[in-house]
Amino acid sequence: MAPFILLVLVSLLLVPTSSYVQQTKEGFISGVISDKGLDFAKDILIEQGIASIVQLQLPEIEKSVQVPFIGNAKVVLSEITIKDIQVNSSSVVSGESGIFLVVSGATADLAMKWRYSCSSWLIPIGISDSGNATVKVKGMQVGLSVDLRNEEGTLKLILLDYGCYVGDLSIKLEGGASWLYQVLVDAFQGNIASAVEDGISDKVSEGIGKLDTLLQSLPKQISVDNFAELNVSFVGNPVLSSTSIAIAINGLFTERNVVLVPQRYQKRLQVSSACGGLPKMIKVSIHENVFRSASLVYFREGSMQMIIDELPNQAILNTAEWRFIVPQLYKKYPNDDMQLNISASSPPVILVDYQDIRASVLVDITIDVLEAGEVIPVACISVDISASCSVDIIRNKINGRLKLEEFSAYLKWSKIGKLHISLIQSLISTALKTVVIPYLNLELKKGLALPTIDGFAFQNANILYLPPWIAVCTDVSYLEDYYLTQHSAHVS
């Protein structure tokens, strides 16, 4: 089950989300799995498929056969169990008509019990015997083809065709009469082969059914925090080509409890698996509109605000320090402490550039005087800030660093007369450079861990800037310890 999720969890796409985004039909997060990634997923899928088949017990086989000089014999094969499967070669191919996986030249080892009883006019009292046998299956081929379709924002996995073919098998009998071996070969060889083919085919169908159920259960919205959700409903049908599989999701942030209305999608998804010449398994691309939608949601929720009441040079936050810059402030509020109330006055505008992410935001800095336990707003300065953020992946974490590019300021209102903005630019610069930017960089430095999804972890990931997209190109590793833990827990 886990490997196929790998094929789809790298995706994120569109459904209408808020009034900020028009009723567009594009995915703002796309995922592309290259042929290298498909080979990796194929190997894991086969490995786990074998694990689900080993110890599979096939139905009991019973036959009555006529044995020369013995008479009618009732022979029963029971506890027919697949003990091991070895794969010689395998391949996976994708195209417009689906995804095709073929295992060829496989062998299987079976163990079983046998028993018989017979009687005739020559042997009126009857005879019986029982014992064990092993079977070697050779030249086995297993194949399946599937397709992926979007059904109202979720993925539907459709099993197009599947089957198993046994080329040859040999039986090794432990004990028993000499005639019994020939009976098993002549009368039961075809039945054993059919039982193996049917048993493995049923497991294939069962496994695809479970995968489909799991895909259908994937959420369309993911809660981010108390303010926002991420729309992860799928947009359009996956694009299957000879070299990759591409999937897209909406990927936009919305306010909590927004009801999504699925739309029809006609436009063909246009994506590229190119990773700057690096042979990576997966490429996940995020459109700058994802960041813009997040900024809008958090702006609307009033969370883009901070109060500065401490500075490295704390004296700046006292009216005495301002007596020469703004004499009227000191005259009205002598030697009173102050604070700066900073809030965004509009949603930040975010653009993906060729080397970093650019952001511009208009903020209001309200100067508050703290007098006798009362907060008194005395002036408000509007500041237009431009900054850049470089993003990198270090030790499997996405880290960022913010840099102040430039800012400009003007007086919005004042209760203490006219202020000379040029004289208080230094205060604004100090606040931005020593408090705001360091605080934000401290948060960015904590990093966002690349997720481990159902036992899969990103490995050797790189960042690419492809305006208006930013992409993560990565290989994937499978955490075997995770699988063993999950498997043992399931068994127990």
Which tens digit of pLDDT belongs to each residue from 104-127?
999 999 999 988 787 666 556 667
Structure tokens at 431: 């606040």
Structure confidence at residue 344 (pLDDT): 92
Q: Which of 269, 246, 250 is nearest to 261 (CA)?
A: 250
Mean pLDDT over 126-140 rounds to 85
Would you say the CATH fold of 239-485 matches that of 54-217? Answer: no
Output the pLDDT for position 205.
Answer: 93
Note the pLDDT of residue 397. Answer: 80
pLDDT of res. 123: 59
Going by pLDDT thresholds of 50, 70 and 90, the confidence category of residue 3 is: very low
Share of the chain above pLDDT 70, in %: 83
Q: Find the mean pLDDT for residues 298-314.
A: 86
pLDDT (0 to 100) of residue 481: 46
Indicate whether 5 pLDDT > 50: no
**Which pLDDT band holds residue 14 (cuts at 50, 70, 90)?**
very low
CA angle 319, 315, 329 (to 5 degrees): 10
pLDDT value for 21: 32
pLDDT, tens digit (0-9, with 9 covering 90-100), for 365-407: 999 999 888 999 999 999 999 999 998 888 778 888 999 999 8
Summarize the confidence of residues 124-141 as an average pLDDT. 83
Task: Give the pLDDT score at 6.
Answer: 33
Compute the average pLDDT of residues 207-230.
88
| Token pair recorded at residue 339 | 């604070």
Looking at residue 107, its pLDDT comes to 94
The two three-digit tokens of residue 107, written as one number: 């062998």
- Does residue 136 register a pLDDT over 90? yes
Q: In this structure, which topology does domain 54-217 adopt according to CATH? A: Bactericidal permeability-increasing protein; domain 1 (3.15.10)
Task: State the average pLDDT over residues 82-109.
Answer: 93
- Give the pLDDT of residue 18: 30
Instruction: Decide if pLDDT at 452 tops 90.
Output: no
Q: Higher-confidence residue: 390 or 256?
A: 390
pLDDT in tens, 435-446: 888 888 888 888
Look up the CATH architecture of domain 239-485.
Super Roll (3.15)
**pLDDT recorded at residue 114:** 84
Asked if residues 274 and 282 have their Cβ atoms less than 8 Å apart, the reply is no
CB 367 within 8 A of CB 379: yes
Give the Å distances, CA to CA, from 335 to 253, 338, 418. 46, 9, 20
Look at residue 96 and tell me whether its pLDDT is greater than 60: yes
Radius of gyration of the chain (CA): 34
Tens-place pLDDT, residues 28-64: 899 999 989 999 989 988 988 999 999 999 999 888 8
pLDDT tier for residue 449 given thresholds of 50, 70 and 90: confident
CA distance 258 to 300: 14
Phi, psi of 254 (to 5 degrees): -135, 165
pLDDT at residue 459, rounded to an integer: 83
pTM, two decimal places: 0.78
The whole-number average pLDDT for the span 326-337 is 90
- Mean pLDDT score across all residues of the chain: 82
Domain ranges across the chain: 54-217, 239-485
pLDDT of residue 491: 42
Number of Cβ atoms within 10 Å of the Cβ of 244: 20
| Residue 290 confidence (pLDDT) | 92
Q: Where does residue 55 fall: left (phi above 0), alpha (psi -120 to 50 degrees), or beta otherwise?
A: left
Q: How far is Cα 247 from Cα 5, in angstroms, rounded to an integer?
A: 12
Longest dimension (CA), the chain: 130
pLDDT over 80 (residue 275) = no
